[in-house]
Amino acid sequence: MAQKINLLLNKRQVFLLGFLLITSLFTGCTSSVIDSNVEIADRRWTYRNHISTPFEIKDNTKAYNIYFKLRHTADYKYANIFILVHFKDGKKMVTRRYQYKLAKNDGEWLGSGSGNVFSYTLPMLTNYHFPRNGKFEIEIEQNMRDNPLLEVSDVGLTVSESLSN
């Protein structure tokens, strides 16, 4: 009986070790330059509250993915969101308007839910090559009709190396 328990424990340990190894390979392959999250006070995102994220690119020969991160409550009253994104490189600024769909036509949220809060990681630029090494900044502002935009709890940004380099 003790031998069977030992064998079972060894199989479980081997499985766990294998799982950890595979997980570390996948997480080790994505190098995040920045992963920011800013809490929106009182869940009231105003036009003036621009979310600004500075970061540095050390190797512009690599491709990068830039994602917009959003969290809202179930009381958010729209099925989408419009944002203005200002890409700044110290010398010039480029502004783009993005629209993201947040819910299906039947009202079911597309984000991953945790209780009353829904989270999204939405692509802005994929396989993007920065023009040079150096400091950059991305500023995000809400561009909806409502001011303030209610029930937005967090806004953020992720810049990471693309896996398809």
26 and 36, same domain (yes or no): no
CA distances from 47 to 84, 96, 110, 141, 147 (A): 10, 16, 25, 6, 6
143 and 77, same domain (yes or no): yes
Domain housing 25:
1-30
* CATH code where residue 127 lies: 2.60.120
Both tokens of 25, joined, read 């390979």
Q: Is the pTM of this model over 0.85?
A: no
pLDDT at 4: 52
pLDDT at 13: 52
103 and 154, same domain (yes or no): yes
42 and 93, same domain (yes or no): yes
pLDDT at 85: 98
> What is the tally of structural domains in the chain?
2
24 and 100, same domain (yes or no): no
> In the chain, where does DSSP find H-type helix?
2-29
4 and 66, same domain (yes or no): no
**Residues contacting 38, CB < 8 A, separation 6+:** 51, 154, 155, 156
86 and 155, same domain (yes or no): yes
80 and 57, same domain (yes or no): yes
Q: What is the pLDDT along the chain (165 residues), one digit of tens a residue?
A: 555 545 444 555 544 344 433 433 343 444 679 999 999 999 999 999 999 999 999 999 999 999 999 999 999 999 999 999 999 998 899 999 999 999 999 999 999 997 899 999 999 999 999 999 999 999 999 999 999 999 999 999 999 999 875
pLDDT at 141: 98
CA-to-CA distance for 37 and 1, rounded, in angstroms? Answer: 52
24 and 37, same domain (yes or no): no
pLDDT at 101: 98
